Amino acid sequence: MKTHPLPVYLQRFFTERLATQLKASPNTIASYRDTFRLLLRYAAARLRRSPTELRVADIDADLVGLFLADIESTRGNSARSRNARLSAIRSFFKYVAVNEPQLLHHCQRILAMPPKRHEKRAIDYLSRAEIEALIAAPALSNWHGRRDRALLALALQTGLRVSELIGLSCGDIVLGAGAHVRSMGKGRKERATPIRKDSVKMLRDWLTERGGADADPVFVSNRNQRLSRDAVEQIVRRHVQAASVKCPSLKKKRVTPHVLRHSAAMQLLQNGVDRTVIALWLGHESVETTQMYIHADIQLKEKAMARTRPIKAPPGRYQPGDKLLAFLEAL
């Protein structure tokens, strides 16, 4: 009788399914890897067997449910993180279900597990004054300041993701007539984003000082290596703190590299750019994704409200006559 050892299917999932068939991005593979590292450790501790001794049948819906609850309670993961872990697990069991029909019922129970609902907060973004203060924050008297200003200006004007920013090579930036930057986004979709004249000057000055070949990274560390995600987050955090001296409203905001992306999108929306164009600009898979910027734009809502007429109705509040109704109204 076939035992369906878990290591065999998991290794094939990463090498054949993700890397070869789907050509998943390094970020996707790393996220799935981290999920299964956590899951295997949890399953090994609960079942008292080493990960290499586990079978596919050992990872059932009950164990997955307990694992998801555990990462929320012990690791403090949010509902979004929990759903991302569940998505990785479901992807693996879809692969198993196709390759092993005998395990179809076992896989279906896991595939039927729903994601957890969570609050959808309004997105954070910077105003025009905050954007200008942030770009002006880096000191141009040193190499780091000139690098950081070019990075912030490019991020706030193009709306590139962090992975796209740190993945840029010198040859990806085209200056002169039709200046633009080429980037590889999610789903291995390549796109070209135009660059404004003010950003062109900053980038030209930086690339001249950088002096790298076409294949060399645009933004580098002290060791002449590509910047990491953490390094970009530290750069943003440091200059937001400096900019908040002249722009106090920044003190009330939690600014991350992704907030710079949102800020670029909001600048486009507030200047009348159609959301279809914004979706193309940002590399969104669907135009509906851009809907969140419309929800967050208070100026757009204020303009809409200005076109409405006040309701001519006498002031006052309805008072129920019945005691039971009054009790219910007071709840």
**Alpha carbon 165 to chain centroid, angstroms:** 13
DSSP letters spanning 50-116: -GGG-BGGGS-HHHHHHHHHHHHHTS---HHHHHHHHHHHHHHHHHHHHH-GGGHHHHHHHHTPPPP
Nearest-angstrom CA–CA distance, 290 and 276: 8
262 touches 125 (CB < 8 A) = yes
Q: HSE on the CB side for 106, CA within 13 Å? A: 19
- Sign of the alpha-carbon dihedral angle for 65, 66, 69, 71: negative
Which residues are catalytic, by number?
Answer: 161, 186, 258, 261, 284, 293
Nearest-angstrom CA–CA distance, 148 and 199: 13
Tallying the residues shown for the chain, one arrives at: 331
Nearest-angstrom CA–CA distance, 32 and 26: 10
Q: Which residue is associated with the tokens 């001519």?
A: 312
From the list 255, 226, 235, the residue with the least C-alpha distance to 149 is 235
